Amino acid sequence: MDDNEFGIREGEIAVELPKDFDASLYFIGRIRTPWKKRAECPKNARESDAVCTLEVNPRWAQALSGVESCTHLVVLYWMNRSRRDLVLQAPRHYEVGRGTFALRSPARPNPIAMSVVRLVGVEGTRVSVVGLDCLDGTPLLDIKPYFASTDAFSDAVVGWHAAREK
Amino acid sequence: MDDNEFGIREGEIAVELPKDFDASLYFIGRIRTPWKKRAECPKNARESDAVCTLEVNPRWAQALSGVESCTHLVVLYWMNRSRRDLVLQAPRHYEVGRGTFALRSPARPNPIAMSVVRLVGVEGTRVSVVGLDCLDGTPLLDIKPYFASTDAFSDAVVGWHAAREK
């Protein structure tokens, strides 16, 4: 393992995980990105205009019909290297611990990441997009059309984050 | 079962599901809504200003720290009654089949729904929100802070849907 930043830090709190799982997922493909190590990934997706590719398993090819008409997509993917038991986290660039559900950290009970991406194009089962920041090879879970009417709230504020920037 | 609209319709196509799952989920709580049957649910979340409640399992209580400072949240939940094998779907109110990944239908390989909600308040492990349209008792998977900087694209267009409205 070249990444040891997945460990626990001072100020972080882990809980015991449930004994059993409740539901299961299929990986529907893989995400190809330019980043092979976590240290290379952009801090957030707006920092990079790299074109990444959603490689969808051929089984689901027909499910892409109509995706080409979207300007933006919601992409769900699986952060398979993250620990799942942290409730308070202390990212290195923040000063205090924060609750997992107030963070977009990949470490969470269900490490499902959500990114909104701009569609570049669809060729067969390859969907080119801009706006991802994950490792190359990350398992893909879902692709959805992004509707401005229900998904865009440009006046939204994350209070703890806004206070930090002042 | 009082809902038989989960079956397959003319123009829809199903594929064989993979033999094995690739990853597993914990339900982190339940969503309380006013809707007990699918027919009662609003067609989309903007149609209702009903206050719904995310009931988070006490195990994860500390993970809510900081959530109260957010105006909007991303909520992921599990559409546990949906079929997972449809690649082309023909929702009753649309005229032609569309690919699953071009739809927000709950029927998809991984039936994870994503909604952006407005936060009303947090009391202990109960998070009150506006903007959901799911059945009462729906399993909760994740809560994330909504960042306008990366999540809001107010000029996004879903082409097939825009064409339909003309």
Q: Which residues of chain B have pLDDT under 70?
A: 1-7, 93-95, 165-166
| pLDDT per residue as tens digits for the range A95-143 | 678 999 999 999 999 999 999 999 999 999 999 999 999 999 999 999 9
- Taking residues A55-80, report their average pLDDT: 97
Q: Which residue of B has its CA nearest to A125?
A: B101
pLDDT band for position A8 (50/70/90)?
Answer: confident
What integer pLDDT is reported at residue A87 of this predicted model?
97
Whether B60 sits inside 8 A of A87 (CB atoms) is yes
Q: Is the pLDDT of residue A15 over 90?
A: yes
Q: Is the pLDDT of residue A165 over 50?
A: yes
pLDDT band for position A148 (50/70/90)?
Answer: very high
Rounded to whole angstroms, how far apart are CA atoms B133 and B34?
9
What integer pLDDT is reported at residue B106 of this predicted model?
94
The shortest CB-CB distance from B139 to any of A22, A71, A157 is to: A22
| pLDDT per residue as tens digits for the range A37-48 | 988 888 777 778
Q: Is the pLDDT of residue A10 over 90?
A: no
Chain A residues in contact with B161 by the CB 8 A cut-off are 145, 147
The shortest CB-CB distance from A101 to any of B63, B84, B100 is to: B63
Q: Which residue of A has its CA nearest to B17?
A: A59
Rounded to whole angstroms, how far apart are CA atoms A156 and B15?
39
Whether B21 sits inside 8 A of A25 (CB atoms) is yes
Which candidate, A39, A27, A31, places its Cα nearest to that of A55? A31
What integer pLDDT is reported at residue A62 of this predicted model?
97
Q: Is the pLDDT of residue A90 over 60?
A: yes
Whether B69 sits inside 8 A of A159 (CB atoms) is yes
pLDDT band for position A166 (50/70/90)?
Answer: low
Looking at the complex, report in whole angstroms how far the Cα of residue B55 sits from the nearest Cα belonging to chain A.
13
What integer pLDDT is reported at residue B76 of this predicted model?
98
What integer pLDDT is reported at residue A9 of this predicted model?
82
| CA quadruple B28, A143, A83, B17: dihedral sign | positive
Beta bridge partners of A29: A56, A140
What integer pLDDT is reported at residue A3 of this predicted model?
39
Helix (H, G, I), strand (E, B) or coil at A29: strand
Chain A residues in contact with B100 by the CB 8 A cut-off are 60, 63
Rounded to whole angstroms, how far apart are CA atoms A151 and B153?
8
What integer pLDDT is reported at residue B3 of this predicted model?
40
What integer pLDDT is reported at residue B94 of this predicted model?
65
For an interface test with A, which of B27, B65, B84, B89 has the most A Cβ atoms less than 10 Å from its Cβ? B65
Rounded to whole angstroms, how far apart are CA atoms B148 and B151?
5
ipTM: 0.93
Q: Which residue of B has its CA nearest to A150?
A: B46
What integer pLDDT is reported at residue A39 of this predicted model?
87
pLDDT band for position A33 (50/70/90)?
Answer: very high
Q: Which residue of A has its CA nearest to B23?
A: A25
The shortest CB-CB distance from A44 to any of B45, B78, B150 is to: B150
Which candidate, B79, B87, B77, B81, places its Cα nearest to that of B5? B81
